[in-house]
Structure 1
Amino acid sequence: MIVRKAKKEDANAIISLINELAKYENMSDQVDIDEAVFTSHLFEKQLANALVTVSDDDKIVGYAIYFYSFSTFLGRAGIYLEDLYIKPEFRGKKAGLAMIKELAKICEQEGYGRLEWECLDWNEPSIKFYENLGAKKQSGWIKFRMTKEDMIKLTVK
């Protein structure tokens, strides 16, 4: 298996894997991807970046989508990992480790201050994987989100 930067022609495979991840996380009802917008934002506007894991028979079996963040406390950029997903039959073969190592390498080469992500609190296999990498759980923070509808309501007030 190899890890490489995703290409525009990988979009369909990545979307398929996003749907698999959503099913695993019991969130399939929240997936609302427009393929053209996804492709534009990821590959043309480069609002995020993606890595893919490719099997020996040239199939995409995993992906990581990430974007650059900024820590005011560190005074430097970092990487926020939005998604990391490996097909179940390829887990335990160091594919996830290879993805995280590649992201850590980018951080190191660019002088970034951190690599961070979120994980569902019930996802024990992932939590154990991340802790084994040396990642630390963060506490004391509450996550907030505004949906498109919330933002529209706010802007018309």
Structure 2
Amino acid sequence: MEHKPVVRRARVGDLPRLVELMREHIAYEKSAPRPPGLAERLGPQLFAEDARMWVLLAQTPDGRSAGYAACSAEFSFWDAGYYLHMDCLYLAEEARGHGLGAALMDGVRELARELGLGQVQWQTPDWNEGAIRFYDRLGATGQPKRRYGLPVDPGGDRAPAAARAR
């Protein structure tokens, strides 16, 4: 009997494993390590009553979380409407090729439907040819853009003022 991939929303108890997966993802993308306290900063954003970010976890047949998709609702000025922005999608290397990525994407699409959003958007590094092939197989279309980041205050708090005021 073939195992049907399980995708579910992250819960508070998943935070340690989620942070492990995030660190793997950060290393995979050759990004700079993040400062200590990632779980302490992330937890309140994910599990607050009014959270505006959602994380879906993909699980292996033994129940171990092997990947995640992190999403938030974003506003498109040109379309004058909201869409679901998938900030991250990651599968541990040993979990790839078993249908978990497609299951995660199905979960992301379902989340968008639940939220009443008609589109999901995301980015992937242009060197990540495996991800690009995967997204192309799903029927997604790429858009040639380059993403930029500009620090407002190097070393300062990155949370929006409204979030810091709580």
Q: Report the TM-score range of the alignment, normalised by the length of the smaller protein.
A: 0.7 to 0.9
Structure 2: stretches of 5+ with no match in the other structure = 157-166
Query: Is the contact between residue 74 and residue 113 of structure 1 (CA under 8 Å) also seen in structure 2?
Result: no
Query: Is the contact between residue 11 and residue 47 of structure 2 (CA under 8 Å) also seen in structure 1?
Result: yes
The count of residues paired between Structure 1 and Structure 2 equals 150
Q: TM-score scaled by structure 1?
A: 0.86
CA distance in 2, matches of 1:26, 1:128: 20
Q: TM-score scaled by structure 2?
A: 0.82
Cα-Cα RMSD: 1.9
SS of the counterpart of 2:78?
Answer: coil
1:1-157 to structure 2, matched below 5 A, reads 1-27=5-31, 29-34=32-37, 35-44=39-48, 46-139=51-144, 141-147=145-151, 149-150=153-154
SS of the counterpart of 1:92?
Answer: coil
The structure that is helix-richer by fraction is 1
Query: Is the contact between residue 76 and residue 113 of structure 1 (CA under 8 Å) also seen in structure 2?
Result: no
Identical-pair percentage:
25
CA distance in 2, matches of 1:80, 1:5: 16
SS of the counterpart of 1:42?
Answer: helix
Structure 1: stretches of 5+ with no match in the other structure = 153-157
